[in-house]
Structure 1
């Protein structure tokens, strides 16, 4: 078991009880994502956590395979899916590289890409799971957009201290929007929609089509 798997397993009960910080932004991105899905689609979600997004989108897809490296997170997700009668959501424990092979109609990664040490390899793996025209839908905190501000300084100080205290994962990338979108394009995608939800981090919502 990796250090990150141990970290997310340990915090899973508290994470499951934590409220969504910006409900308006969350619901808006859910609606935008729904607009791209069809009820016959086979969808892969990477880093699904406790499954809230997969369950919310379950009525809009044929099948959702929801993956996470934390088995404790997935236990919560399975219980929530059972309670919601979301029978088309299948939870599997794995990381990005070992996620099920495609082809998928869409791959989703929400609040995940900034936690991956090798973004290029992850995006290449995602692209390999999609046919031409398949969709990659993500939202990523772009902490690097605050560079030069007091908020950026606070991030650079607080996150390492939180990691030492066992309250942050082993890796957090201070991505900016340009770097993120350039990496997505290099992986063979055409970006077709973007937006910041919420605007103040920002959380960069991105929809890209496999070329």
Structure 2
């Protein structure tokens, strides 16, 4: 995790200036997520980066706890939050395990474009299940490294050697779905906007 934190701290300024590659897909993910939200909900987003998505969702829920391993990312996020006058987001540096988060305290957990960057996805999904209230939802989008082009699968290790890419976890669509089901989730919605990526809304049983 130490190496990952250093990578994202260094990347933060450039990341903050980067544009969304597929705006149409991003907007659809936002809309689907907000269809589930309720005004009294407490939401957790882990791997929130510079907080852009949390700030878009903030008007639709009661409160958002947004976390990231990178202090630099969160510094940028909090400046953006203050500039926008948003008061119902709190940013915290750490991981799902290191932060003092109470079981069954969230109505929704968001893990967006982050799961494939984690070393132990199973532990993370189990922790998400624990943090959700019965009937709560886990909204996730992730790259499926096992299903991207062979060229990229060869390039990633090379880029990692020169510190141009972070750690990535390799799993397929079926592998990811199995992880969710094994953790006790039921799938409400599954959408693959393109080969090599997936968006899922999974629900904890009541």
TM interval, shorter chain, is over 0.9
CA distance in 2, matches of 1:188, 1:29: 23
SS of 2:132 mapped into structure 1:
coil
Deviation, 1:200, is 3.7
- Equivalents in 1 of 2:179, 2:195: separation in Å? 22
Helix, strand or coil at the partner of 2:203: strand
Indicate yes or no: 2:97 matched with 1:101.
no
> Residue 36 of structure 2 aligns to a residue in which SS?
coil
What corresponds to 2:161 in structure 1?
Answer: 164
Q: In the alignment, is the contact (CA less than 8 A) between 2:66 and 2:90 conserved in 1?
A: yes
What TM-score comes out, normalization by structure 2 length? 0.95
Aligned to 1:190: 186
Gaps of 5+ in 1: none
In structure 2, what is the equivalent of residue 204 of structure 1?
A: 198
For the 8 Å contact 2:140–2:201, the answer to whether it is kept is: yes
**Within 1, Cα distance between the matches of 2:142 and 2:153?**
18
1:155 paired residue number = 152
Asked if 1:134 is matched to 2:98, the reply is no
Instruction: Tell me the SS of whatever aligns to 2:135.
Output: coil
Work out the CA distance in 1 between the residues paired with 2:55 and 2:171. 28
Q: CA deviation at 1:156?
A: 2.1
Q: Which residue does the alignment assign to 2:39? A: 39
Structure 1 position 145 matched with structure 2 position 141: no
Does structure 1 residue 89 correspond to structure 2 residue 89?
yes
Could you tell me whether the CA contact under 8 Å between 2:145 and 2:153 is conserved in 1? no
Query: TM-score when scaled to structure 1?
Result: 0.93
Q: Which moves more between the two structures, 75-84 or 10-19? A: 75-84
Q: Cα RMSD over matched residues?
A: 1.2
SS state of the match for residue 35, structure 1? helix
Unaligned runs of 5+ in 2: none
**Deviation string, structure 1 residues 177-205 (Cα, Å, up to 9, x no partner):** 110011001111001101023x143x211
Q: Could you tell me which residue of structure 2 aligns to residue 70 of structure 1?
A: 70
Q: Secondary structure at the match of 2:133?
A: coil
User: Any idea what the Cα deviations from partners look like across 1:140-189, whole Å, max 9, x if unmatched?
Assistant: 1112224xxxx2x21222111111111111x2122211100110011110
